[in-house]
Every structure is written in structure tokens, then in C-alpha cells.
Structure 1
Amino acid sequence: MASEVFSYESLVHAVSGAVGSVTAMTVFFPLDTARLRLQVDENRKAKSTPSILAEIVKEEGLLAPYRGWFPVICSLCCSNFVYFYCFHCLKASWQKGKQSTPRTDLITGIAAGIVNVLVTTPLWVVNTRLKLQGSNFRNADIRPTNYSGTLDAFVQIIRDEGVGALWNGTFPSLLLVLNPAIQFMIYEGLKRQLRKGLSSLEVFLIGAVAKAVATTVTYPLQTIQSVLRVDEYIYVRYGVLGLFKGLEAKLLQTVLTAALMFLLYEKIAACTFRAMGLNSNHYKKH
């Protein structure tokens, strides 16, 4: 077990996943801004991704769609590093060189997701607050904040709301481990079906399909999670359909981001293994 946990292969997968996700999120970050506004600010008249982005730029400035980019990127980097590292450590440990199956991929993804949630939820609570700070809200229930940065946000939240507030939304987050677990199960399954030698386009497309399915299935939990991170006393008021607010923006952002992330992850990992002179056979099994 120790050899799988402290291995260069797990580290390469973790770094590749983190770099790929950070790059992809940076490219499509404005779409995530639109998604978050649609989820938590239900009184906006703009209901589509292009219209809400145009409204944000008009009212808050050209750079407003990138508000909160740095804390989000830092959190995403940490989160994906932890997830990819745990996923590949557990997979290598449990498989013992055997061919993986959809069932083992799903279980491994859930276990890695639980570790990731417990470790990184405070970072996501803070970056959600920072991302929304300074926004023009139509929803009067959202309390304005005045954080000078990530550290100040941590200090103010702990002082005013208690340490437990840093784990607001942990329950839906734990349920949301199904999202990356389903995503990785579908992605790894499609890779096995298509065999080796995938083109860049094929990697991009199977990454997109995997994320589209995972996002649609788990989106109501993501809406609840976003609302709880902003204010634990705000609840969804519009029934079942209210749980799917912002799905269009989320699908557009998350599918494109995941597809690009998987493409970059595969390329970076493969190049790194070649540069390190490591045997690529074990890599291909993943």
C-alpha cells in the first residue's frame, strides 16, 4: 500500500490533473460566473448564459466575469491534486495490476471524492464568497461581505459564523462525490472500449460525454451546495425546477472545461512519463 501512496506515478497523475484543470477552468471561467449567478440570484431577469454575462459586464465592468478567479484556481488546483492523487493511489492499491471495471472505478472515485471534500470544502466556501463579493444582486436575502482576500475571508467567517461555517454545504458535497465518480467511471470505461491510441479529439469527446452525464445527474445537489455556501438560511423556493436553475450555463462550462482538462491531463501525463523514462505500460492501465 505504501508503495502506491508514495509513488512517482501517483504524483504525475495528480500534477497533470491539477495543471489540466486549472488551465481549462481559466479558459472557461466566465461561464462558471454565469452559472453561479443563475443559481443563487433568482430575481435576475436574464436567464441565459450570454444575456447574464452581458448584464454582468455592463453593470460591473469588463473583468467582472473573472471576479474571484484566483481563489477559485487555488482551490481547484488543490482539489484536483488531492482527487487525482487519491484516485490513482487507491486504484493501484486495489487493482494490484488487474484490469479495472466500471464498478471498481465508481467505488474508487467515491472514496477519492470523500477525502477530497473533507480536505478542501473550506477553500470552496471561501472562494464562493469571494466570487460573489461586489456583485449586484437582485436577491435581498444575500448578505453583502467585505473580504480583503482569502485569509481575511477565513478570519471573518470563523469570527462571525464559527469554524463550522467553513464546512457549509458539506453534506451535498459528500453526495456530489458521485459527480466525479460517475465522470471517471464513464471516462475510464469509454477509454477501455476504444482501446489505446486515442486521438486528441477522441479524448476531448469522451471527456465531454462523461462530464455531461455526471453533471446532469447531480446538478440539483450542486445548486443546493452553492446556495448553502453563500448563506445557510437561503433555500430553494421554486420546487423541483428551481434545483435546475443555471443548468444550461453549468453544462456549457463544465462539459467544455472537463473535456479540455482530460485532454491536457492525458497529454501532460504521457509527456511526463516519457521525459522521466518510466515504463508507460502501467500508465496505460489507468
Structure 2
Amino acid sequence: MSNAVVNGLAGAGGGIIAQIITYPLQTVNTRQQTDRIAKKGLISDSNSGRESFSSQSHSNGSDSTLRKILQVIRTEGWGGLYSGLKPSLFGTAASLGIYYYFYQLFKNKAETLAIARKKKGLGDGTAGIFSWILVAAIAGSLNVLMTIPIWVLVTRMQTHTQAEMKIIEGKKEAILRESAASATSPTNLMDVSKLNSIKPRPYGTVQAIREVYSEAGIKGFWKGVVPALVMVCNPSIQFMIYESLLKHLRAKRVARKQNSKGVSALEVFLVGALAKLGATVTTYPLLVVKSRLQAKQEIGGGNISLRYTGTLDAFVKMLRYEGLFSFYKGMSTKIVQSVLATSILFMVKEELVKTFLILADKTPKVISYRFK
């Protein structure tokens, strides 16, 4: 079995474990990202197309992570924290399997080229930082193009209740406005009471597929592909930091005449955490835009200022109607979730790679050579 296949399988296994452990934080984070609260100022009405003043402020959408988790449990039960888990696990396995397979494949080629260059008197025989960036970018782009339909469905399932509640709130507001202008308020108030008793309908993968297709056809499954492709720089930055730190650690071990293969699971955990932290802070605004494009547009309510036709439209409207703050909604939750998930992923992946090789009767010398 080639080391590219071994890394693909190990990456998929590590990703599944990390996903299960951190999924509630991911669900909450997606909802925080897709909350659309216009700042005090102008908003656009979908019926008249005219702009008017809104009294809403950022504080309405600034729920803490813990408060958001408790809110989901109270209104939807524990199952609400795991909405979309099944397709997410499939997507995680597919994404990481594809990513690590191509990453290792191109990494091997980069290392072979570096050795060939050394023989010609060029370089030290190791791939440089630019090589890691390029390798991660190619693997990431292939992964995005092949798996983004899965993540569109996951986002829909994670934010379904949020969208349904927004629709119900819109109906209530319409009824109350009508009752204030008519003499039939008792009947209208009864209608509001009925709306209060409505619970979001069951929503699974099949329903999500039908909804996305009915809204935009096949192209709907690739919503958010532009920011997703741009976000390929996230794992590029992440793996640049990761590989550079591991290379530094191993070089120090060699210099001190210590065992060069002995990077511990704890060290991998910490290196993975630092790598993901740097990448997340840099690229988070793109993640928010991607989530908003993939979520049901009803989350924006009746205001066209909070609905988007594409990536550029989302950037312009978010900046104009919600301010710079909107690009960083839920970032603290994402940092905790992504750093924890990535650290677990790297730690489990490295241990699985070692296990695969031991089961394949590989010697420690070969392990050190192939994965150092």
C-alpha cells in the first residue's frame, strides 16, 4: 500500500473522530455565522425595494457560544446540536481522504524534485515553504471541487431550524401589522397563537437535496464555491506552519543527536493547534461568506439587504448593512472548534499512519525515511 493511500485512510479516520467530538461547536458556529442582524441604519424591504431605518443592533446577534448551545438544547433538544451529522461525517471522510491522498502524492513529488535538485548542487535536498504552499493549494482545490455539494447540504441541515423560525417570525410580524390596521385583531391574534405552536418540520438529507435543487438546480450544489476555493489558502497556511514546525523539531533532534523519528503525539497536537489557529484567523471572513451563501436565504427575513445573489453581493451587503463585525461572527467558537478538531485530527492521523505501517511489517527505518 502506497504512503499516499495510507495517509488518505489515516486522514479520513482522524477526521471522523475529530468531527464527532467537536460537531456541536460546528453547528453552533454555522448558526452564528449565518445570523443576519442589520446594524442601526438602512435596510431594504423586499416588497417595496425601498430602504428604511432599522433599530436592530449587533447585540441581538452576539450570543455567546454557551448561551447558543443552551438555546439549541432548550428549543430542539440534544439532537439539534447534531443536525446534519451523517452527511457531515461522510463529507469529512471524503474530504480528508481526498485531501490527504493528493497532498501526500504531490508532497512525494516535491520531495523527489528537491533531492534531484540537491544532486545537481541546488538546495539542501528538502522541499521549501513555497513547495508546501503549492502542494496544499492543489490538494485543497481538488478537494473543494469534488466535495462542496456535501457541505452545502450540511450547512442547510445545520441552519434549517434557524431559517424556519425566521419564516415564522416574518408571518407573525405581518399578522400583527395587519391587526394593528384592522378591526379583526382577535382573529389575527389567534393566528399568531397558532404560529407560536408550530414546530420546524423534520428535515433530512433527502429534503435538503430537493430544496437545493428546486431553488437553483444542479448549480445550487456548488454555492459558495468561489470563497471555498479562495479558502484553499487556509490549509496552505496551516500546512506550511505545520510542516515547518515539524521540520524544525526534527532538525533540533538531529542536531542534539536525539532520535529523529520521535515526534510525540503531544508535540503533534500542539503543532497542529498552532498551525490551525494562524490559518483560521487569517481566512475567517471567507468562511462566513461561504456559510451565508450556502444557507437558506430565508434566514435574511424579508429584507433584500440580508439576501445575497453571489459572493461579491454578499461582501458588499454585509459590509454596508451589518458592518465589518459581521465578517467575524462566531470566530471565537470557530477557533476553539477548529483548533481542537485539527489537533485531534493530526494526532490521530499520525498514530494511524504508524499503526498501518506496523501492520504492514514496515521497519522503523522505513517509517523514519518516508514520513520525516
TM-score of the superposed pair, with normalisation by structure 1: 0.90
| Alignment partners' CA distance in 1, 2:91 and 2:64 | 27
Question: How big is each residue's C-alpha offset from its partner over 1:165-201, in whole Å with a ceiling of 9 and x where there is no partner?
Answer: 1110000000000111111111111100011412221
Q: 1:48 to 1:103 in 2, by over 3 A?
A: same
Task: Tell me the residue number matched to 2:273.
Answer: 208
Identity %: 30
Task: Tell me the residue number matched to 2:86.
Answer: 70
| Alignment partners' CA distance in 1, 2:7 and 2:28 | 30
Task: Tell me the residue number matched to 1:269.
Answer: 353
1:93 maps to amino acid? K
Q: Specify every segment of 5 or more residues in structure 2 that has no aligned partner in the other structure, as ranges.
A: 38-59, 116-124, 171-198, 251-260, 298-306, 309-313
Structure number with greater Rg is 2
Task: Tell me the residue number matched to 1:246.
Answer: 330
Question: How big is each residue's C-alpha offset from its partner over 1:16-49, in whole Å with a ceiling of 9 and x where there is no partner?
Answer: 0111011011101111111111100235555211
Q: Offset at 1:139?
A: 4.7
1:94 maps to amino acid? A
Q: 1:201 to 1:175 in 2, by over 3 A?
A: same
- The one of 166, 186, 191 aligned to 2:246: 191
Q: Offset at 1:238?
A: 1.6
Equivalent residues of 2:7, 2:353 under 8 A apart: yes
Q: What is the 5 A alignment of 1:83-94?
A: 83-94=99-110
User: 253-262 or 39-48: which moved more?
Assistant: 39-48
Equivalent residues of 1:105, 1:185 under 8 A apart: yes
Q: Offset at 1:145?
A: 9.2
- The one of 222, 231, 234 aligned to 1:176: 231
User: 152-161 or 69-78: which moved more?
Assistant: 152-161
Equivalent residues of 2:84, 2:205 under 8 A apart: no
Task: Tell me the residue number matched to 1:3.
Answer: none
Q: Offset at 1:230?
A: 1.0
Structural RMSD (CA): 2.4
Question: How many residues matched?
Answer: 279
Task: Tell me the residue number matched to 1:4.
Answer: none
Question: How big is each residue's C-alpha offset from its partner over 1:225-257, in whole Å with a ceiling of 9 and x where there is no partner?
Answer: 000111463442322221000101000100001
Task: Tell me the residue number matched to 1:15.
Answer: 9
Task: Tell me the residue number matched to 2:53.
Answer: none
User: 254-263 or 150-159: which moved more?
Assistant: 150-159
Task: Tell me the residue number matched to 1:28.
Answer: 22
| Alignment partners' CA distance in 2, 1:22 and 1:224 | 25
Q: Specify every segment of 5 or more residues in structure 1 that has no aligned partner in the other structure, as ranges.
A: 1-6
